Amino acid sequence: MSEETRTNVAEYFGEDVFNDAVMQERLPKKVYKELKKTINDGKDLDPMIAEVVANAMKDWAVEKGATHYTHWFQPLTGITAEKHEAFISPTRADGKILMEFSGKELIKGEPDASSFPSGGLRATFEARGYTAWDCTSPAFLKHDSAGTILCIPTAFCSYTGEALDMKTPLLRSMEALNTQALRLLRLFGNTTSKKVTASVGAEQEYFLVERDKYLKRKDLIYTGHTLFGAMPPKGQELDDQYFGIISDNVGKFMTAVNKELWSLGVSAKTQHNEVAPGQHELAPIYNEANIAVDHNQLMMEVMKKVAEQQGLTCLLHEKPFNGMNGSGKHNNWSIVTDDGINLLDPGKTPHDNIQFLLVLTCILKAVDTHADLLRESAADPGNDYRLGANEAPPAILSVFLGEQLQDVITQLITTGEATSSKQGEVMKTGVKTLPDFMKDATDRNRTSPFAFTGNKFEFRMVGSSDSIAEPNTVLNTIAAEAFADACDRLEKADNFDDAVHDLIKEYAKAHERIIFNGNGYSDEWVKEAEKRGLPNLKSMVDAIPSIVSDKAVKLYDRFKIFTKAELESREEIKYEEYSKLVNIEARTMIDMASKSLIPACIRYSKSLADTVLALKEADVDYSAAKESLAEISDLIADAKNALAKLIDDDDKGIAMEDGRDKAVYYRDVIKKDMDELRAPIDKLEMIVDKEFWPMPSYGDLLFEV
Ligand code: ADP
Ligand code: MG
């Protein structure tokens, strides 16, 4: 659709998606029906069907200007990968080409996989990796400077079938959840629901800065966050940014992002300014987990692209600026049947909703048992700057239930029986002209990492730049395990009603320790959590071992999510990723300090020294200038010492063999050295003449978009 006619969203929403409507229109009825059986019921895909679908997909894409297709996949880098293939096929005798796309090309791709992280699963000389069409997530068109590309969402596996991506385990976990949740529903007499899926809505936080300023900061370019920078006079202390009026430039950005996302069938819904200056958020309407994962990747990609087109840069790093709020990605998760039943919906009177209480206590059990895995699923090097700092959830996992559910659980634990549910009261505004309305039975708690919010859980630890595939894989799997355990018991019970009642009580009692409704940011909570025996995995390096614990290996093997080899490969990749990223940060600091920041300070001291001399010659009081000069010289000396130590230690780090020890070294030694270098330079920024400072300040970056 041309730009001028793009006014009615309803008309162009999903126009770049090979969605259900297009399939119905373009596929023969029989083919459409067969494909839907594969998509909805997991039936094996017939190659003949794939052939017809491929052809229809190609015709549709070419009509819309596509020249290439790509298997779009999500390797263990956390971002997406694509390799474009033109549709052309020069088979004609007259030297002209045909536009072709076969069923085989749709179903299977074979990118040279040797350069993606595989953690020992595949030696580089055994480079074979395959991408396999994920027909549960629709194909779509991307229009950019590379042309119009038909993107086919795929899973990425090695020659021997091990998952080399984020998508495959996620799909496996969705199947596990489906199977176990259906078992549970059947026990409660549900015979109509055919499928259960995890529904996910991810709220994406981000920063926008002007592109020309971004390009003057090597730290932003190489690492996505600032490694130096003194606090500006104003930060976020006035709370005047949150939900504040959206500036013209930001508004233009949001409008363009929405339009692109809507064309791609991504239901971008809620947008607002966030807590920190320069920080914003965009949330879509929730979707099935695998589609939500794809859509979140698209959202990040579109944001980056549009920002660039508008002279801006979108920062997705978890902590772009010290002293300001970092960015997360609240992962809203619920469990929904194909006929619209949300297993996490408590109804008006949760105390007598036995199915809900069983589901809820199963989730408590799941989170308590696997708190370490959930924590790990949100670990990335950027998030280490955020979790546990004063604005993000702590690194300790706990569940917020809110007043109403807490009361029901307390009744269960103390009396063995829940007989009432607290109800929301009428909210009295105290103003006659304002309507009175029913308030929710429960207030919110922003400090909880895993909060029940009415009919879903909100997992708030996830970092803004991270894929949401892993957190949802963990959530689905641990829920599947808890449901399976419960069903194993209940299916054998003579008296179902008694057995389920006992089980709910048992789970509530056994896992009460994971519930915390208080202030998660407080120091008291850290102490209390320790008393309760809850893990406090402060850094990514602390969290990684949980994925290869016996408990994890058993869990993932039981539901066929990961093999032990796949888990070990991921462990290896994560340690390596951590060391590499910190090393890049260290080298960026070395580069900036040696080639730009310290020389600038020296230039300024030279000019100060000249001033001192001139003042002295003119017989004017020069004591202030001399004092500044001394202060600056001291700080330069501190910076130079810290720089020398960082260079030395980083050289040692580079020489170490990849693995846990190296990651620990980077966390404990290099990060400390980096702080030591940053401190004097941030002080220098506050006293060196701005004319001499070689890059934009926090204030320049944050307040001028
Ligand atoms: P908040 O006020 O906490 O930001 P919202 O109601 O705006 O919460 O929802 C935030 C996100 O949660 C959105 O992406 C929304 O689509 C998603 N969401 C809402 N209901 C569900 C649900 N039942 N399951 C999963 N996600 C949901
Ligand atoms: Mg929210």
Q: Rounded to the nearest whole angstrom, what is the distance from the C-alpha of residue 472 to the centroid of ligand 1? A: 15
Cα(367) to ligand 2 centroid in Å equals: 20
Residues having CB within 6 Å of any atom of ligand 1: 199-201, 203, 270, 283-286, 332-334, 342, 453, 455-456
pLDDT tens-digit series, residues 659-673: 999 999 999 999 999
CATH of domain 577-702: 1.20.120.1560
Judged by its nearest atom, the ligand closest to the C-alpha of residue 268 is 1
**Amino acid 550: pLDDT:** 98
Which atom of ligand 1 is the closest one to the Cα of 345? 23
Closest CA to 357 of 365, 368, 346: 346
Ligand 2 mean position to 210 CA, how many Å?
A: 27
Distance 473 CA to ligand 2 centre (A): 20
What are 152's strand-pairing partners?
71
Domain segments of the chain as ranges: 3-165, 174-562, 577-702
Mutation test residue for ligand 1: of 286, 444, 457, the one with most atoms within 8 Å of CB = 286
Using the atom order of ligand 1, give the atom closest to the CA of residue 284: 14
Helices (H), 235-288: 248-263
Q: Which atom of ligand 1 is nearest to the CA of 270?
A: 7
Q: What is the pLDDT of residues 241-281, one digit of tens each?
A: 888 888 999 999 999 999 999 999 999 999 999 889 999 99
Which distant-in-sequence residues (6+ apart) come within 8 Å of 579 by Cβ? 653, 658, 662, 663, 665, 666
Among the atoms of ligand 1, which is closest to the Cα of residue 201?
14
Using 50 as the pLDDT threshold, list the residues of the chain that sit under it. 124
Pocket test for ligand 1, best of 332, 448, 460 (most atoms within 8 A of CB): 332
Closest protein CA for atom 6 of ligand 1: 453
Taking Cα atoms as reference points, which of 97, 12, 4, 107 lies closest to residue 51?
A: 107
Find the 400 Cα to ligand 2 centroid distance in Å. 14
Identify whether the C-beta of residue 480 lies closer than 8 Å to the C-beta of residue 557: no
CA of 352 to the centre of ligand 2 (A): 28
Tell me the ligand closest to 198's alpha carbon: 1
CB of 211 closer than 8 Å to CB of 311: yes
Spacing, Cα 331 to ligand 1 middle (Å): 9
Ligand closest in space to the Cα of 202: 1
Among the atoms of ligand 1, which is closest to the Cα of residue 286? 16
Closest ligand 1 atom to 283 CA: 14
Relative to beta strand 147-158, strand 287-288 is: unpaired
pLDDT given at position 688? 95
Indicate which atom in ligand 1 lies nearest the CA of residue 444.
3
Instruction: Tell me which residue has tokens 């209390």.
Output: 528
Rounded distance from Cα 344 to ligand 1 centre (Å): 13
Q: What residues have CB less than 8 Å from 1, skipping those under 6 apart? A: 11, 12, 15, 263
Which ligand places an atom closest to the C-alpha of 201?
A: 1
Q: Where are the alpha helices (DSSP H) in 142-217?
A: 167-187, 211-214
For residue 297, the CA-to-ligand 2 centroid distance in Å is: 19
Residues lining ion ligand 2 (Cβ < 5 A) are 330
Look at residue 440 in the predicted model and tell me its pLDDT: 73
Output the CATH code of domain 3-165: 3.10.20.70
**How many CB atoms neighbour CB 432 within 10 A?**
6
426: three-class secondary structure by DSSP: strand
Query: Which three-class secondary structure state does DSSP give residue 396?
Result: strand
Give the number of the ligand closest to the Cα of residue 460: 2
Buried b (16+ CB within 10 A) or exposed e, 399-431: bbbbebbbbbbebbeeeeebeebbeeeeeeeee
Write out pLDDT tens, residues 417-467: 888 888 877 777 667 767 776 777 777 778 899 999 999 999 999 999 999
Judge residue 469's burial from the number of C-beta atoms within 10 Å of its C-beta, 0-12 exposed, 13-18 middle, 19 or more buried: buried
* CATH class name, domain 174-562: alpha beta
* Nearest ligand, CA 197: 1
**What spacing in Å lies between the alpha carbon of 329 and ligand 2's midpoint?**
9
Q: Which residue in 283, 249, 35 sits closest to 135, CA to CA?
A: 35
Instruction: Please tell me the predicted confidence (pLDDT) of residue 66.
Output: 96
| Ligand 1 atom index nearest CA of 453 | 3
